[in-house]
Structure 1
């Protein structure tokens, strides 16, 4: 299966023809001899949008392509797009997981944030931050955390030569608020309900710390949804039953009368 995103070995190949929108190639050995037959799937031909890869390559042309794995029948599959812009590939390969980089926010969307990383090739935007990697806190939109033009520092999660993208994390450079909250298991706390879902409610217990109270803890009566009993913003007293640092979640239980006194 083609699922490798980490950089593979670069091979020199000669285009031998086309199979539909795939590019058929033969690997070129050190002495120039043609050896194993390979294939460049259409989505791996280029970062540019073209109707057919014959617009990019001629039969007999030699190109560089990155090995990305073998299909079920054992045929080698390669990516030409991973080697399409040498300066981009060099930039990506120089970055390592865990490295801290600086950059400027380019665009902010509901699905994530694009970042110009310092030192990237001109005309490209290589950085991307997924919404879960922006902050430990709960947000409705990434614009609550960053804005276009803002300078940031972030940690590299992975570099992908085939997409030309660096996945970054702001959250990785922030202290997990649950670490400071870990000793609260067993405590009774009061906080506002921040979100109601069909199977329970989320309660803010401290800055950037949310706990979940299951519907069954709200009432013994048969109800369809929690909003039949509570409203968003309403204060509720709960008992912290578990602080799971590994899964980064806090489970809550109902606070009994004895707990409230």
Structure 2
């Protein structure tokens, strides 16, 4: 019995001890689990059980509640924590003395973000983020933690205004990350390149020559516009932008403009696409000959000046040339800028049109009456005019008549008698003088005037005033080897030829006479047409000898011998010979 009891007692104790052992094991497991979950840096779920001014208490399923600083729940100054809300928290540390677990909601969120970063990087997935500000070399991006976006990875091409990126949200690729150093490098360019490559393949498969496609202006240069057709860039050359004149593409486009263009040529191997915009409309030269026939009057804007003329735009794509020779009826235009300026509206007449060469010749002077058509009616030959000397040259004077028309007084028509080496000896520019219209040549556009014709030609009456045989006295003006020039009156000179100076033969009169010396001679001959007067000193001397002989003979008494009669006859013969 005792043994039985002992055995029974032993079994109860064993059972009791077994139950106690299991309970202790569970308690130990719970205890160990408690410490395990409270490991620093572990993220657990908890429930908010209270909120005060400094902390939020969270039940994480252990004997002690965890504390989170109230500021972690503040958004724009308001506390978002509510009793009963479930939150993810990270165990920061265990306060043994106060038996309090210090938790952090922010750190739990960062841990979750880092886990997400790792996952996305390994899966080559994108992550969304907001560019918060510019930093050296790029941008700072908020993806839950701060990440770095290099400037070269922000877009496909350099960004002109970096500030425009700040505050915008984009998708990024994670290039690399280091959790310990809290370093993350992002790229947006990789995604854009992938997108562009996808579009490029689609675009190349869909475009063909002659197709009209939409595009976006990507870049402007002096020679044209680069247009993004969807992953493929095409060149719109400046000559294919408009039928009209385009100095620079920036006159018509800005980067980002949406435009329609036509595919002119396509090289798929080299991926070169030539585009045209003017080809979307009809060539204006196709109907130019009907719109601008020869002789028609047009009005256009001066768009360009060259040394040889001015280009006038009749309409977009059609320009005509006004040559300098066609700008004025009367003026000699050295450069078109003397008459017109860029931007000026002018009237002109179509002189010639060649659509096949895309050329129109215009005349500006033809749009106004030709003053040479009426000048002869206004100023008939013989009319006395008065005008200002506009220019003096070696050969004469130019006198302003009407606007654009000058008359020429040739140096030979200034004076009947004066020897003029240069007109400036008598006149100066700006002098107002009178002249007579001598001739008008419309074809050659010449207007001839004369000043000397205002008075009678003194040579017309020279024969009356200096008849042959008359003795005159004048001033020596020039002495040459062939004779002596003598001024009889202002502008009227006679010549004493060397053979008429003396009865004795002399080689030259030089040295025998001086300029300014008074000289008496006899008029031998007059040629008014050739304006010549022949003088003789020898004849004057011979006349004196004849008078002496005549006087001697007349004073002789009656002839008393044959010798006396012979002498009389000889003297009379000599006188007769001298007169001849």
TM interval, short-chain normalised: 0.5 to 0.7
Cα deviation for residue 197 of structure 1 reads: 4.7
* Divergent runs of 4+, >4 A: 46-50, 57-64, 83-86, 258-261
Cα gap change, 1:62/1:238 in structure 2, threshold over 3 Å: closer, same or farther? farther
**Scaled by the length of structure 2, what TM-score is found?**
0.29
> Cα distance 1:84–1:166, how it changes in 2: closer, same or farther (>3 A)?
farther
1:129 aligns with 2:409: yes
Match of residue 482, structure 2, among 184, 196, 199: 199
- Deviation digits for residues 152-187 of structure 1 (CA, Å, limit 9, x no counterpart): 221111112344331111111212223443222221
1:116 corresponds in structure 2 to: 400
The partner residue of 1:152 within 427, 433, 438 is: 433
Is the 8 Å Cα contact of residues 88 and 164 (structure 1) preserved in structure 2?
A: no
Match of 2:497 among 214, 223, 230: 214
Asked whether 1:166 is paired with 2:447, we answer yes
Please state whether the residue corresponding to 2:370 is helix, strand or coil. Answer: helix
Give the count of matched residue pairs: 189
1:96 aligns with 2:380: yes
Matching residue of 2:529: 246
Q: Does 1:235 align with 2:235?
A: no
CA separation in 2, counterparts of 1:147 and 1:257? 48
CA distance in 1, matches of 2:362, 2:478: 54
Gaps of 5+ in 2: 1-293, 296-330, 336-350, 355-359, 548-580
State which of 522, 541, 551 in structure 2 corresponds to 1:257: 541
CA pair 107-230 structure 1, distance change in 2 beyond 3 A: farther
Where do 5+ consecutive residues of structure 1 fail to align? 1-12, 15-45, 51-56, 65-80
For residues 66-106 of structure 1, give each alpha carbon's deviation from its aligned partner in whole angstroms, at most 9, with x where no partner exists: xxxxxxxxxxxxxxx9x898433135333332222221222
- Looking at structure 2, the residues matched to 247 and 84 of structure 1 have their Cα atoms a distance apart, in angstroms, of 49
Q: Deviations over 1:202-230 (max 9, x none)?
A: 2110133222222322352224xx43433
Q: Does 1:143 align with 2:424?
A: yes
Query: Residue 257 of structure 1: SS of its match in structure 2?
Result: helix
Aligned-pair Cα RMSD in Å:
3.6
Shift of 1:128: 1.0
Contact kept? 1:114, 1:125, Cα under 8 Å: no
Q: Residue 87 and residue 189 in structure 1: after superposition, are their counterparts in 2 closer, same or farther (change >3 A)?
A: same
Name the CA distance, whole Å, in 2 between partners of 1:221 and 1:162. 56
Describe the shift of the 1:168–1:160 C-alpha distance in structure 2 as closer, same or farther (beyond 3 A): same
Asked if the contact 1:182/1:245 (under 8 Å) is kept, the reply is yes
- Partners of 2:332 and 2:367 in 1: how far apart? 8
Superposed, which structure 2 residues align to 1:73-84 within 5 Å? Answer: none
Indicate the SS of the match to 2:478: strand
Per the alignment, residue 24 of structure 1 pairs with: none
Greater gyration radius: 2
Residue 194 of structure 1, CA deviation: 1.7
Greater fraction of residues in strand: 1
Q: 1:90 to 1:252 in 2, by over 3 A?
A: same
- Partners of 2:407 and 2:446 within 8 A in 1: yes
Comparing both structures, which one devotes a greater share of its residues to helix?
2
Q: Which residue of 2 is the match for residue 7 of structure 1?
A: none
Q: 1:47 deviation in Å?
A: 5.4
SS in structure 2 of the partner of residue 175 of structure 1: coil
CA displacement 1:213-256 (0-9 Å, x = unmatched): 22322352224xx4343332222222122233333332222252
- Asked whether the 8 Å contact 1:154–1:169 carries over to 2, the reply is yes
Asked whether the equivalents of residues 92 and 164 of structure 1 are also in contact (C-alpha less than 8 Å), the reply is no
Q: How far apart, CA to CA, are the structure 2 residues paired with 1:257 and 1:201?
A: 17
- The 2-side partners of 1:89 and 1:232 are apart by 50
